[in-house]
Structure 1
Amino acid sequence: MGRVQLAEGELNYQLDGPQGAPVLVLSNSLGTDLGMWDAQMPAFTQHFQVLRYDTRGHGQSLVTEGPYTIGQLGADVLALLDALKIERAHFCGLSMGGLIGQWLGINAGSRLHTLVVCNTAAKIGEPAVWNPRIEMVLREGAAAMAGLRDASIARWFTPDFAQANPQQAKRITDMLAATSPQGYAANCAAVRDADFRDQLGAITVPTLVIAGTEDAVTPPAGSHFIQEHVHGAQYAEFHAAHLSNVQAGDAFSQRVLDFLLAEQAN
Structure 2
Amino acid sequence: MSGDRHFTTADGCRIAYRIDGPDDRPVLALSNSIATNLHMWDRSMPALTRSFRVLRYDTRGHGGSDAPVGAYSMDRLGRDVVELLDHLAIDRAHFLGLSLGGFIGQWLAIFAPDRIDRLILSNTAPYLASELPFDDQIRAALAAPDMNGIADGFMRNWFPAAMLAAPNDIVDEFRNMVLTTPPRGLAGCYAALRDVDLRRVISLIAAPTLVIGGESDTVTRARHSADIAATITDAKLVLLPGVHILNVELADRFNREVARFLALSAT
Q: TM-score, normalised by structure 2?
A: 0.95
Partner of 1:202: 204
Residue 163 of structure 1: CA displacement? 3.5
Q: Helix, strand or coil for the counterpart of 2:262?
A: helix
- With over 3 angstroms needed to count, the CA separation of the structure-2 counterparts of 1:27 and 1:165, relative to structure 1, is farther
Equivalence for 1:2 = 5
> Which of 154, 157, 166 is 1:155 aligned to?
157
Q: 2:170 aligns with which of 147, 164, 168?
A: 168
Gap regions ≥5 residues in structure 1: none
1:261 aligns with 2:263: yes
Cα deviations by residue, 1:8-33 (Å, 9 ceiling, x for unpaired)? 13110010000121000000000000
Show the 5 A alignment for 1:11-160. Answer: 11-126=15-130, 129-140=133-144, 142-143=145-146, 145-160=147-162
Instruction: Tell me the CA shift for residue 127 of structure 1.
Output: 7.4
Shift of 1:65: 2.1
- Off by >2 Å, runs of 4+ in structure 1: 125-128, 161-165
Q: Following the alignment from structure 1 to structure 2, what is the Cα–Cα distance between the partners of residues 100 and 228? A: 19
**Conserved? CA contact 1:127–1:192, under 8 Å:** no
Number of corresponding residues: 263
Greater displacement, 191-200 / 119-128 = 119-128
Once the 2 structures are TM-superposed, how far is the Cα of residue 125 of structure 1 from its aligned partner? 3.9
- In the alignment, structure 2 segments of 5+ residues that lack a partner are none
User: What amino acid is aligned across from residue 34 of structure 2 in structure 1?
Assistant: L
Change (3 A) 1:44 1:73: same
1:242 corresponds to: 244
Moved more, 168-177 or 70-79: 168-177
Secondary structure at 2:243's aligned position in 1? coil
Per the normalisation by structure 1, the TM-score is 0.96
Give 1:225's aligned residue.
227
Paired with 2:217 and 2:131, the residues of 1 have a C-alpha distance of 20
Who is 2:213 aligned against? 211
What is the aligned counterpart of 1:179 among 175, 178, 181? 181
| Equivalent pair of 2:141/2:150 in contact (CA under 8 Å) | no
Query: Whole-Å Cα distance in 1 between the matches of residues 87 and 161 of structure 2?
Result: 42
Identity value in percent: 40
More displaced stretch, 119-128 vs 214-223 = 119-128
Q: Shift of the alpha carbon at 1:247?
A: 0.5
How many angstroms apart in 2 are the aligned matches of 1:208 and 1:165? 33
Q: Structure 2 CA distance, aligned partners of 1:128 and 1:49?
A: 35
Distance of aligned partners of 1:259 and 1:128 in 2 relative to their CA distance in 1, 3 Å threshold = closer
Tell me if the contact between 1:90 and 1:112 (Cα under 8 Å) persists in the aligned partners. yes
CA distance in 2, matches of 1:197, 1:225: 9
Cα distance between partner residues in 2 of 1:38 and 1:95: 17
Shift of 1:126: 2.7
In terms of mean alpha carbon deviation, does 152-161 or 184-193 score higher?
152-161
